[in-house]
């Protein structure tokens, strides 16, 4: 179990926010290597905590969300479908058919802050470790 530098505690769960940038798949691999996975957001409280943090961090971050299996069917990295969602209005839009199959949080002021983006985009990421 990792409780070392770089992990922060929100509501009983440990999160790791990267300081460098990677594609979605490399980000996921980094989390798995750390004994965790990309973050799964399944409550409003969790979304609010993460978004409040990211407002200061001001970086785009990958979350554990993808529709790579079936276009338009969004799933978390544990294979579950969304129980609650926080898409930016107008998203997900698979922008200009650019194969936007991976989910990120953008740091806009609104609570709804998820966007679908191309998986090879290099941004920061957040891992989550179950308690
Ligand atoms: O306007 C929303 C739109 O903004 C960008 O495209 C111009 C995003 N793409 C990247 O950041 C690569 C889209 O995902 C987003 O929908
Ligand atoms: Ca998009």
Atom of ligand 1 nearest to the CA of 121: 12
- The neighbouring-strand residues paired with 36 are none
Closest CA to 129 of 26, 18, 33, 13: 13
pLDDT value of position 128: 96
Sign of CA dihedral 75, 65, 41, 90: negative
pLDDT value of position 70: 96
Q: Is 48 in the pocket of ligand 1 (CB under 6 A)?
A: no
pLDDT value of position 131: 66
CB 15 within 8 A of CB 125: no
Q: Which residues of the chain have pLDDT under 70?
A: 1-4, 131
CB burial of 21-48 (b: ≥16 within 10 Å; e: otherwise) equals: bbbbeebbebbeeeebbbbbbeeeebbe
pTM of the model as a whole: 0.94
**ipTM computed for the complex:** 0.98
């Amino acid at each position: 179990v990792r409780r070392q530098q770089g992990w922060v505690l929100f509501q009983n769960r440990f999160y790791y926010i990267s300081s460098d940038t990677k594609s979605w798949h490399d980000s996921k691999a980094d989390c798995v290597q750390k004994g965790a996975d990309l973050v799964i957001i399944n409550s409003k409280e969790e979304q609010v905590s993460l978004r409040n943090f990211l407002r200061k961090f001001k970086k785009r971050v990958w979350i554990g969300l993808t529709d790579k299996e079936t276009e338009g069917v969004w799933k978390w990295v544990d294979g579950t479908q969304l129980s609650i969602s926080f898409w930016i209005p107008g998203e997900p839009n698979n922008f200009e058919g650019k194969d936007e199959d991976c989910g990120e949080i953008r740091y806009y002021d609104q609570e709804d802050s998820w966007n679908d983006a191309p998986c090879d985009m290099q941004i920061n990421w957040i891992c989550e470790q179950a308690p």
